[in-house]
Amino acid sequence: MNILHLEINDLKRISAIEIDPATGKPVILTGDNGQGKSSVLDGILLALSNTGLDDPIRHGRPAANIKLTLGADKAEYLLERKITKKGSYLTLTTAEGLPVQKAQTFLNGLLGNYAFDPLEFTRLKPRDQVEALKAAAGLDFSDLDAKRARYYVERTTVGRDGKEAAAQLTAVPEPSEGVPSEEVSAAELVGTLSDLESKARVVEKLASDSVAADKRRRDAISRIEQIEKEMAEARVEFKDADDASILAREEYAKAKGAAPAPEQITEARNAIAKVDETNRAVRQARKHKELSERVTKLRSEYATLDRRIEEIDIEKSNAIKEAALPIDGLELTDEGVLMNGVFFSQLSTAEQIRISALVAMSQNPDLRIILIREGALMNSANLKMLSGLAAERGFQCWIEKFSESPGNEGLHIEDGAIAYVDGKEVAP
C-alpha cells in the first residue's frame, strides 16, 4: 500500500495542504526553512503512529487534522487523526466505511520500519549500522552480549592474576634436589643436641670416676706397703675401692659403647646452625610449587573463558549468517557492514544510498513508503537512481529538500501551503 491522498490542516507550520501523489513518481517537497515542508513528513508519521511530535497544533488554532487514504491500486483504508489540546483521536475505516477494530494496533502491524531514512543510515557509525541491520533482521544478541561481557571481564581478571602469578614465579628459583618437603624444627634439633651432650657428660664423669678409683687403689696399695700396721684398715679401704673400681669400670664399659661419636655432636651442632637455611629452602620450594599450580590453574581458567567467548562469537556469527538480510552480499561484522566483502563506508555515495534504500524497502512490506529528509544533500543523479529504484519496487518516496525558490519539479511550500507545483504557481 501507498498513500493515495493526504490532507493536513493546522499542523505545526501547515495551514492547509492536500496532496495526491502521482503513481510511480516521488513526492518532492521543497521550501525555505520554516515554511512547512518538514511538517508534511511529520504529519504522516503522526497520523500513522501517534508519535514524534510535541506541541503539534499550529499556533493560534484549536486543533490539527490529518487525513490519509491508503491503498494500492485503489483506496483500501481511510484514516483520520484529530489532535486537540486534550489529546489525539484516531478514526480508521475500510473504503466501504466499516470501522477497523483496534485501529492503532492494526496500523502498527502495517508500519514496519516505515520511517527508515536511507540518508540517515549512511550517516550512522559503522557499529550503529550493524545494530540497525540486526534489528531489521530480528536479531537480538542482548543476552549473548551480556554473557560475553561477563566472560570478558572474568577473562581479563584471570589474565591479570595469571600474569602476576607468573611474574612472582619467575622471582622464586626452583628448589634444589634434597630439599625437605616440610620445615625442620629447630627445637627438635636443640633437644637432640642437648640429649647427646648430656650423655657425653655422663660418660666423661664416669671416665673421671674411673680414674679417681684407680688412684685410690694405688694409694691404698702404697699405704699397705708403707704401713703394715694399718693393713686391716687399708685392706678394708682397698676392698671398698676395689669394688667401686669394678663397678665404675662396668658402668664405664656399658656407657662407652653408647657414647656419641664427636662427629655426631658436631653434625648436630651444624644442623642447628643450618636450620634457618634449610627452612628457607623448604618455604621457597613450597612457594614455587604453589605458584606453579596457581599459574597452571589460571591459564586453564583463561583458556576456558576464552573458549566460551569464542563460542558466543561463533553463535552470533552463525545467527547473522543465517539471518534473512534484505540484500544478497550483505554481511554484518563487529567492525561494520560489508557489501560483497567491501566495507559500507568504502562504497560510493550512490551505492550507499542504493543499499540503504533497499534495506528500508525490505522493512516496509505492507505500507510501502519511505520518508527522506534533507534530500537536498543528494545530487540529481542519486535522486533519479533512488526514484527509479522505488518505482521499480512499488515504493513511494516522500523527499524533503531545502530550496528558497521553486524549481521545475516538486511541491513548493510557502507559509504552510502549496504555492507551486512543478514550477507553476498555484492559485490561492
Q: Give per-residue pLDDT as tens, 330-377.
A: 888 878 888 888 898 898 888 888 888 887 777 777 888 888 887 877
Q: Is 59 helix (H, G, I), strand (E, B) or coil?
A: coil
pTM of the predicted model as reported, rounded to 2 decimal places: 0.60
Burial of 425 (0-12, 13-18, 19+ CB in 10 A): exposed
Higher pLDDT, 23 or 302: 302
Structure confidence at residue 40 (pLDDT): 94
Q: What is the pLDDT of residues 268-284, one digit of tens each?
A: 888 777 878 888 888 88
In angstroms, the Cα distances linking 267 to 261, 272, 274 are 10, 9, 10
Reported as a pLDDT band with limits 50, 70 and 90, residue 82 is very high
Burial of 99 (0-12, 13-18, 19+ CB in 10 A): exposed
Reported as a pLDDT band with limits 50, 70 and 90, residue 71 is very high
Structure confidence at residue 114 (pLDDT): 47
Reported as a pLDDT band with limits 50, 70 and 90, residue 326 is low
CA 119 and chain centroid, separation? 32
Q: Residue 131 pLDDT more than 70? A: yes
Structure confidence at residue 268 (pLDDT): 80
Measured distance CA(204)–CA(201) in Å, rounded? 5
In angstroms, the Cα distances linking 321 to 128, 266, 313, 357, 363 are 18, 81, 12, 21, 18
Q: Residue 31 pLDDT more than 80? A: yes
Measured distance CA(330)–CA(121) in Å, rounded? 15
Q: What is the pLDDT of residues 187-231, one digit of tens each?
A: 787 888 888 888 888 888 888 888 888 888 888 777 777 767 766
